[in-house]
Structure 1
Amino acid sequence: MQTDALLDRFLADLAPLAPVAVWAHGSLAGGDYQEGRSDLDLIAVLPSVTPRTVWRLAKLHARLRAEPLSAQLHCTYLTPSADLDRRHLTWAHEELFRRPVSPVTRRELHSFGRVLHGKPPADLLAPVPDRELTDYVIRDQRDFWRPALDNAALWHRDVWVDLGLLTFARATVTVREGRLISKREALDLLPRLGAPEEVVADVRGRRYGTPGPAVENRAELTRGYLGPAIDELVAAY
């Protein structure tokens, strides 16, 4: 399996930096992983992240580019005493930048995180209270996804249609029930939430089956649905 080979290579190359722990979250940990389609979402805890560490990690990821699926490998680098609200060094989309570790990621790690090396998440990360998790997903819908609907050009890309719909369905369950669901569960839920069934089928085909012809007016259907749906979710909170 190419995924296992890539993870083995990554862990071997990371070993000289003496990681305290390496964890998988997202689809890889939650049982909904689709090789070649899903991202490989990782967190690595290192003893320290210095300028030299950054240079070594850049070289490490450059070497991994020759491996199949390397473009899907995303990893955020923490230290044991890290303030998780700050932005942390992250490799994703084949570049290094900084971003925070969201409450959703932290809840995933506590609920079903997969330990690839070292200590488990519960030993190093504080748990995420339900209110913090719910506040985060509401802010994400209100402050990121709702304004993004005004940029019509974005919604002609698969990634925006897919993530926009899936993230909304997952946020709805988190707000209403205080739990996380998989992308597959989100797809099953979307028609019951009133999402356009032809667009949901399009997303399902690209993630789990054979992609078909693009749905006519897919961008407009998605934006027309998500705008009022997000407004209703936020207003009810």
Structure 2
Amino acid sequence: MTQTDALLDRFLTGLEALGPLAVWAHGSLAGGDYQEGRSDLDLIAVLDDPVTPRTVWRLALSHARLRNEPLARQLHCTYLTPDTAGDPARRHPTWAHEELFKRPVTPVTRRELHGFGRVLHGKAPAELLPPVPDRELGDFVVRDQRDFWRPALDDRPLWTRDVWVDLGMLTFARATVTLRDGRLISKREALDLLPALGAPAEVVEDIRRRRYDAPAPPTGQWRARRGELTRSYLRPAIDALVASYS
């Protein structure tokens, strides 16, 4: 049994007392590009009863009991109920980054669940989640690129960090395919696509090495240069993508 399987088994066992109708995986774990120890464990659970303050306390306690397990920091789960699952704007209790807060389940996540969600327990996504229309998906992807990623490029220090470079580049490639073809692709597919989209080769190879190999930590000089290459590429690329969809 892998560390991932062991953690999921303990997590599901801890949820039994709450009687979940379903637990699903999305993201890399469902899409076939999961890298143990590097990828997040992205989960959705549907609880039968209304989520009361006591329920939230029990959820937090359940996650806290896992805190010393390998990979526990990478386990993220959002909690829905049948009555709230259909509202795309609803913010749901979520455990991620070792804290409990609320956030919506995005159209991208919902489409992933319908397309290739992995059922870990209970009912399939199609039984509890309404489908995502193409227009809703496209509008969300454009807003995400235009209103989140494009303004973030003005914050230079962010782009010296690995996670911003990786997600910024990969999310752009995935957004391009979604808006062009109406489909979702994995991070590996996005990485393979970036050179054809004109992305700087040095940055693409840097992401590939860190995601799939074991490279030495980058120097401060390379972090700065990588950030500038990424920002210089993404500014016009995002502008062109948003303009073409509009």
TM category (shorter chain) comes to: over 0.9
Letter matched to residue 41 of structure 1: D
In 1, Cα distance between equivalents of 2:215 and 2:151: 28
Q: Is the 8 A contact 2:88 2:107 kept in 1?
A: no
Q: CA-to-partner distance for each residue in 1:179-213, whole Å, 9 max, x for gaps? A: 00000000000011011111010001111112245
Distance 1:78 1:154 in 2: 32
Q: 1:145 offset after TM fit, Å? A: 0.1
SS for the counterpart of 2:65 is helix
1:220 lines up with 2:222 in the alignment: no
Match of 1:44 in 2: 45
Determine if the alignment matches structure 1 residue 55 to structure 2 residue 63: no
**Which of the residues 130, 135, 153 maps onto 1:126?**
130
Distance apart, 1:86 and its partner CA: 1.0
Q: Distance in 2 between matches of 1:174 and 1:190?
A: 14
C-alpha separation between the residues in 2 aligned to 1:122 and 1:98? Answer: 23
Identity rate, percent? 78
Partner of 2:76: 74
- AA at the equivalent of 1:84: P
Alignment of 1:1-237 (within 5 A): 1-47=2-48, 48-82=50-84, 83-212=87-216, 214=218, 215=222, 217-237=225-245
CA distance in 2, matches of 1:211, 1:18: 43
Alpha carbons 1:202, 1:212 under 8 Å: kept: no
Unaligned ranges ≥5, structure 2? none
Aligned residues: 237
Deviation at 1:84, TM superposition (A): 3.1
TM-score (norm 2): 0.95
Task: Please give the alpha-carbon distance, in whole angstroms, between the structure 2 residues aligned to 1:211 and 1:205.
Answer: 6
User: What is the RMSD computed on CA atoms of the aligned residues?
Assistant: 0.8
Equivalent residue letter for 1:230: I
* Distance in 1 (alpha carbons) for counterparts of 2:215 and 2:75: 23
Write out per-residue CA displacement over residues 51-79 of structure 1, whole angstroms, 9 at most, x where no aligned residue: 00000011111110010000000000000
In the TM superposition, structure 1's runs of 4+ consecutive aligned residues that sit over 6 Å from their partners are none
SS in 2 for 1:20: strand
Q: Which string of whole-angstrom CA distances, capped at 9 and with x for unpartnered residues, describes residues 113-141 of structure 1?
A: 00000000000001111111111000000
* Paired letter, 1:76: T
